[in-house]
């Protein structure tokens, strides 16, 4: 049975590797299926899809969206949607805009704290990537404001420190509506300790199809708890390494190690096929 990794970042968002490098590594590790799930962009996925290496591995369309749900910001994984769907692409462009505006406000807040940083520096760090807090963290680190990436988050960039800065991301319902219309299947990313059972039930009621049971932040009992919940509620089960970059020692954290069984990938693909077939039936009827 082949192994899958359905949670990987590239330099199209806040990862270090190019989509091509991700394909090379995944093939080398013997993975059967992967999904590139950058933050609010599918540019990395599209580059991978258009490269010659995409013939040597199964590559599923994917994205990790940041969405608003009440007071919370939720990471929502979407898979197997039509990546050329107009509404999906419009929604992701809006998400990129929301990211840029949020970063401008984060930079302002840092400046008010007396930190020497400006938006152009963060934009230069991000380059063509979808901008995010890790780019600001790199700027702070390169300028010696902090000694490490982690310190940047602890002292300045964690959600708690930036409590009053909410991005204008789309809502959970809007993301679900647009993605499902394009045949997408939605999974709640790394639920770990982030939500109560009640909150998870509510998100399932809104239309979330599955849970990311397998994630590096989930110790085995947590993985088991979510797998059981998913099975009881007939939900999809997804998982992956959430890989961003090699560690300083050269070790690739969890890449090729935290993986998902093919049977779950098959269920995901089947659900998407059914969704697309139903839509075509509806469109023609």
Choice between 11 and 14, CB closer to Zn ion: 14
**Can you give the C-alpha Rg of the chain in angstroms?**
19
Choice between 117 and 176, CB closer to Fe ion: 176
Residue 40 near Zn ion by CB under 5 A: no
In the complex, what is the shortest distance from the CB of residue 39 to ligand AMP, in angstroms, rounded to a whole number? 5
Binding site for ligand AMP (CB under 6 A): 14, 39, 66, 132-134, 149-150, 153, 244
Residue 14 near Zn ion by CB under 5 A: yes
Choice between 79 and 271, CB closer to ligand AMP: 79
**Which of the listed partners (ligand AMP, Zn ion, Fe ion, none) does 209 bind, with a CB threshold of 5 to 8 Å by partner kind?**
none
Choice between 102 and 180, CB closer to ligand AMP: 102
**Which of the listed partners (Zn ion, ligand AMP, Fe ion, none) does 229 bind, with a CB threshold of 5 to 8 Å by partner kind?**
none
**Which of the listed partners (Zn ion, ligand AMP, Fe ion, none) does 149 bind, with a CB threshold of 5 to 8 Å by partner kind?**
ligand AMP
> Residue 27 half-sphere exposure, CB side, CA atoms within 13 Å?
15
Chain positions contacting Zn ion, by CB under 5 A: 14
């Amino acid at each position: 049975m082949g192994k899958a990794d359905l949670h990987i970042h590239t330099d199209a968002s806040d990862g270090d590797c190019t989509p091509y490098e991700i394909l090379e590594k995944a093939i080398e590790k013997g993975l059967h299926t992967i999904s590139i799930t950058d933050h609010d962009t599918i540019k990395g996925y599209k580059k991978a899809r258009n490269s010659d290496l995409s013939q040597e591995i199964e590559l599923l369309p994917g994205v990790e969206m940041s969405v608003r749900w009440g007071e919370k910001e939720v990471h929502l994984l979407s898979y197997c949607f039509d990546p050329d769907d107009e509404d999906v692409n419009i929604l992701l462009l809006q998400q990129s805009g929301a990211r840029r505006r949020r970063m401008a406000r984060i930079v302002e807040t840092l400046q008010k704290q007396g930190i020497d940083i400006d938006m152009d520096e963060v934009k230069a760090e991000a380059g063509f990537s979808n901008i995010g807090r890790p780019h600001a963290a790199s700027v702070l680190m390169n300028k010696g404001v902090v000694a490490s990436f982690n310190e940047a988050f602890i002292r300045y960039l964690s959600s708690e420190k930036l409590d009053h800065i909410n991005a204008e991301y789309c809502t959970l319902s809007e993301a679900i509506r647009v993605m499902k219309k394009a045949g997408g299947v939605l999974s709640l990313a790394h639920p770990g300790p982030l939500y109560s059972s009640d909150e998870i039930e509510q998100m399932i009621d809104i239309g979330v199809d599955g849970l990311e049971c397998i994630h590096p932040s989930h110790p085995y009992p947590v993985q088991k708890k979510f797998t059981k919940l998913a099975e009881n509620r007939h939900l999809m089960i997804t998982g992956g390494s959430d890989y961003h970059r090699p560690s300083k020692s050269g070790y690739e954290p969890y890449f090729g190690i935290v993986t998902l069984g093919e049977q779950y990938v098959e269920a995901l693909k089947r659900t998407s096929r059914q969704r697309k077939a139903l839509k075509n039936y509806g469109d023609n009827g």
